[in-house]
Structure 1
Amino acid sequence: MSSSKTKVVPFRRKREGKTDYKKRMKLLASKKPRLVVRKSLKNFSAQIIEYDPKGDKVVVSAHSRELIKLGWKGYRRNVPAAYLVGLLCGAKAKAKGIKEAVLDIGLYPSVKGSVLYAALKGVLDAGIEVPHDESVLPPEERLIGAHTKNPEQSKKNYEEVKEKILKVKK
């Protein structure tokens, strides 16, 4: 007979470092859809997800590859692209009747002015209510691409794509 405690194996997604269940439960307790913002090496995505006991349901999704179809010529993972992805996601959500959400940045660290918060700013500008602190949002000059290699070209392209997204919204 063993006198030691039985070893408890943590959930698989926790072991793999993919899910923080404590944070997930806090987000789900709000009973609001989650605005899930994720980045990869070259792209960026924003989704609005609703909880379902059988499995979460993606209600609205926007990806930086969609910006190419709208005429975006810049890099797809910088601050202006993240803002436009957020704006596109927010416009689609508004069309589906979603009025509010709660931000889910997953395991990414919260860095003031980062691409994650640029996407949040886009969703806010589309008219979706998301609880946030104004100090974490990036400044307007970063959103339009004033920090990029070709700021004039970036600003012009940014304005064109933003207008197309806002036309789709109406």
Structure 2
Amino acid sequence: MGRILLVTGGARSGKSSFAERLVAGLGPDIAYIATARALDEEMVERIAQHRLQRPAAWHTHEAPDFPSQVIAGQGQRCDGLLLDCLTVLTTNKMLAQAVDWDHPAMARLKEVEAAVMVEIEAIVAAAAASRADLVAVTNEVGCGIVPGSSMARFFRDCAGRVNQRMAAAAAEVYLVVSGIPVRIKG
């Protein structure tokens, strides 16, 4: 049975680099699961930088909507899985829903969050059924000011609940601050 190791922290905290070191310790055969989409020049550059910093031997799987399927498919054959990242996945799931973010209906927001959480539960289940450990990266977005828009507030709240669920399922949780990982669970 695979374990979940959750790595969280703020933007540019060093969480992805730490997660890469953590998963590298699991063995040589690593499946890297990317959730980002290259929708603009900045994201193209960020994705290129992430590719350069990880070993070329790792198998990259682009799964912006259903990383649980990659975990289920690769978890029996590889030494470790790295999912980067849950907050981008949350954004992808949010934007796939038809919502008037200027005037969102509460019932509709509950449906959007439910759609996000279905995939999170699928990730937890796939990781539990896997022989490989899953290292999942996520952003801690709840430490700043209250966002001014309804979409940003919903994202902050939804991402917080995603992080709580993943942390509850995780055997270990790390908070990375200024490049320094601190184990907060396990």
**TM-score, normalising length from structure 1?**
0.34
- Based on CA coordinates, which of the two structures has the bigger radius of gyration? 1
**TM-score, normalising length from structure 2?**
0.32
Bigger fraction of residues in strand: 2
